[in-house]
Amino acid sequence: MNGLRAAIAVELLKSRRSRIPWALAAGFSMAPLFGGLFMLILKDPDRARQLGLLGQKAQLTAGTADWPTYLNMVAQAIAIGGAILFAFLTAWLFGREFTDRTIRGLLATPTARASIVAAKLVVLVLWSAGITAWVLALALAVGAAVDIPGGSGPDTATWLVGAAAAALLTVALQTATAFWASAGRGYIPPLGWAVVTVALSQILAVLGWGPVFPWSVPALVAGAGGEQAGDVGVVGLAMVAIATAVGLVATIAWWRTADQSG
């Protein structure tokens, strides 16, 4: 247990001193900010043209300036954008040991390999939770500042729960990203994995297979899938749990045999 606490402390120190998590938080903040800008344009297109926010010949044929539309936009950004940004954070946490050439020193420490993996995952969860909380609070603040009509307390609370759950499921699925960052010894394999799973999640959701494909489930839970949002059920959550467990076991197994993997 002392080894795990020490490993977590080291990972937290490294992450606080790095610009990567802060840059990801700033990038994630663009979702509610651009959503608020779009709501401003929808509320008064003529004024937006005068301010140069909208081209003079541009025609808005879809979208309504109301809270459901705005919250749905942010939910999609959290589910889809989070899959990429959290994967980037995971790739950095696990892949930096190879790019910084610190892997041999890390493996030589007396800390158990499983504790090293657990420490990195704990830091991933802490940073992801903090970034998600910040983005959700910013979304509500931006919506209030823009004075978007049509909001209600119960609907907003439901959205908050769905968006937070989607973020939680997205983070849980990063165990597979952690494996590819470890086995792939860097950033490219895990980021490639993230892009492939995001693309597949969109395709399979359209085909109706989203509830049984783990990487489609977070978006459906967030409500980004429209009528499919309520179809996730126990099966979808079970698929996420299985994928998370497989990724975790594979990652720990790789780290335990990292000395023999070259």
Q: Output the pLDDT for position 229.
A: 47
pLDDT confidence band for 72 (50 / 70 / 90): confident
Q: Which domain holds residue 42?
A: 2-261
Kindly tell me if the per-residue pLDDT of 183 is higher than 90: yes
Total domains present in the chain: 1
How high is the mean pLDDT of the chain? 86
pLDDT digits (tens, 9 = 90+) for 109-147: 888 999 999 999 999 999 999 999 999 999 999 998 988
Q: What is d(CA 245, CA 256) in angstroms, rounded to the nearest whole number?
A: 17
Closest CA to 81 of 205, 179, 212, 219: 219
Phi-psi region of 52 (alpha: psi -120 to 50; beta: other; left: phi over 0): left
- Name the residue with tokens 């990652």: 251
pLDDT at 228: 44
The predicted model scores a pTM of 0.88
Spatial distance between the Cα atoms of 165 and 223, rounded to a whole number of angstroms: 11
Which residue did the predictor score with more confidence, 216 or 3? Answer: 216
1 has a pLDDT exceeding 70 = no
